[in-house]
Amino acid sequence: MKAKSALLLALLTALLCARAGAAESPYWIDLTDETLSALSNAGETIIEPIREVPRHVVLLLKTARDELGYTEGRGGVTKYGEWAGDPKAEWCAEYLCWCVDRVDSQYGTNLLTVVYPRYSSKNIGMRWFLKEGRYIARRGTVPNYGSQWYIGHRDSIGKNGYIPQPGDWAFFAGSATGDTTHVAMVEFCTKDKDGTVRVYTLEGNKPDRVQQTAYLLTEETILGYGTVFDLADLVLKAGCESKKVLELQQKMADVGLLDPSYVTGVYGTHTADAVRDFQRGQGIEQTGVAGHETQLALATYVVRYREEHPAYWAVTEPF
């Protein structure tokens, strides 16, 4: 009896030691033991997200992961293309959009066209995120806009300065035109002992199946990321149209710098003139472009304005 108890204790101790030394799957995804072992052997550690991964992202990643191994049929036909209305479509975007729709259908969420786009053609997905105000360029600047910075921060986001978060969509360009030719969803990122960061994605049409792929953070074909969270601001100027423009206009209208009728989300001449007038009063170069310095100055101005105007102190909600 004592021998059996000693043996049982030894086995239990060995099991506990093995678990203590083994890598554990992060809470937002259920990685296989094989994947965890491969990461451990490569000296890679999974990077914790900067914010808690939302439930809908956890569900989306699970849904997308469950599709691993799916292979297109004869002639390039896929169920994702059929769902999108083009059975033979180049189906990287269709796969992700199908997964989003699947989560909506199974769990009663409202993600498609709200948190994520529904699209098929090149560039549309990236432009959708940009218009929603949730896009960060890998190279540090957004074409036709300019530089970016984390909200409220004084330093710009440099090249490869953003580590994508679970649920972000990575957009790739396969040619010098800069058009998006591929899209993938970020599952997690890792860092090795040398500080090298890798981005692990789930993606379709790679080249004929759904699979997990790892890229260096510095991968030149990655244009940028459509983000789950609103994390960054960017230069705004005439011709821009987005939620970021709408937020800028609303701030200016709230403090009497812009007529409310021009709060449209489109950066037109009236917005440029109002920005130029604000810059003049702040001692900033009068360009009419709402750059980094101008937007930070406006944020400070709005806070001070509200502190000095009692109307903003009124209690609008009942106790």
Question: What pLDDT, on a 0 to 100 scale, did the predictor assign at position 23?
Answer: 62
Collapsed DSSP state (helix, strand, coil) of residue 176: coil
Task: Decide if pLDDT at 19 tops 90.
Answer: no
Within a domain: 293? yes
What number is the average pLDDT over the span 195-217? 98
Within a domain: 29? no
Within a domain: 194? yes
Show which of 178, 205, 232 is a domain's final residue: 232
Statement to judge: residues 221 and 239 lie in one domain = no
Statement to judge: residues 111 and 212 lie in one domain = yes
Statement to judge: residues 204 and 282 lie in one domain = no
Cα–Cα distance measured from residue 237 to residue 100, given in angstroms and rounded to the nearest whole number: 33
Show which of 202, 232, 262 is a domain's final residue: 232
Within a domain: 11? no
Residues 6+ apart with CB under 8 A from 244: 133, 233, 234, 236
| 167 close to 54: Cβ distance less than 8 angstroms | yes
Q: 3 or 229, which is more confident?
A: 229
The residue among 60, 36, 79, 33 whose CA lies nearest residue 186 is: 60
Taking the chain, what is the end-to-end CA distance rounded to the nearest angstrom? 68
Statement to judge: residues 170 and 266 lie in one domain = no
Question: What pLDDT, on a 0 to 100 scale, did the predictor assign at position 165?
Answer: 98
Within a domain: 258? yes
Q: Which domain holds residue 264?
A: 235-313
Statement to judge: residues 155 and 248 lie in one domain = no
CATH number of the domain where residue 216 is located: 3.90.1720.10
Statement to judge: residues 55 and 87 lie in one domain = yes
CATH number of the domain where residue 279 is located: 1.10.101.10
User: If you average pLDDT over every residue of the chain, what do you get?
Assistant: 91
Q: Supply the angle between the helices 92-107 and 55-65 in degrees, to the nearest 10.
A: 120
Show which of 206, 232, 258 is a domain's final residue: 232
Statement to judge: residues 166 and 281 lie in one domain = no
Statement to judge: residues 267 and 178 lie in one domain = no
| 200 close to 213: Cβ distance less than 8 angstroms | yes
β-strands 180-191, 45-46 pairing: antiparallel
Statement to judge: residues 221 and 296 lie in one domain = no
Within a domain: 25? no
> Based on the structure, what is the number of domains in the chain?
2
Tens-place pLDDT, residues 141-162: 998 899 999 999 999 999 999 9
Going along the chain, which residue ranges are E strands?
A: 45-46, 135-137, 141-142, 146-150, 169-173, 180-191, 197-203, 211-216, 222-226, 232-234
| 192: phi then psi, degrees, rounded to nearest 5 | -100, -175
Statement to judge: residues 228 and 240 lie in one domain = no
Collapsed DSSP state (helix, strand, coil) of residue 120: coil
Place of tokens 């297109």: 72
Q: Is the pTM of this model over 0.85?
A: yes
Within a domain: 34? no
Cα–Cα distance measured from residue 167 to residue 184, given in angstroms and rounded to the nearest whole number: 10
What number is the average pLDDT over the span 122-141? 96
Statement to judge: residues 252 and 151 lie in one domain = no
Within a domain: 18? no
Statement to judge: residues 154 and 131 lie in one domain = yes
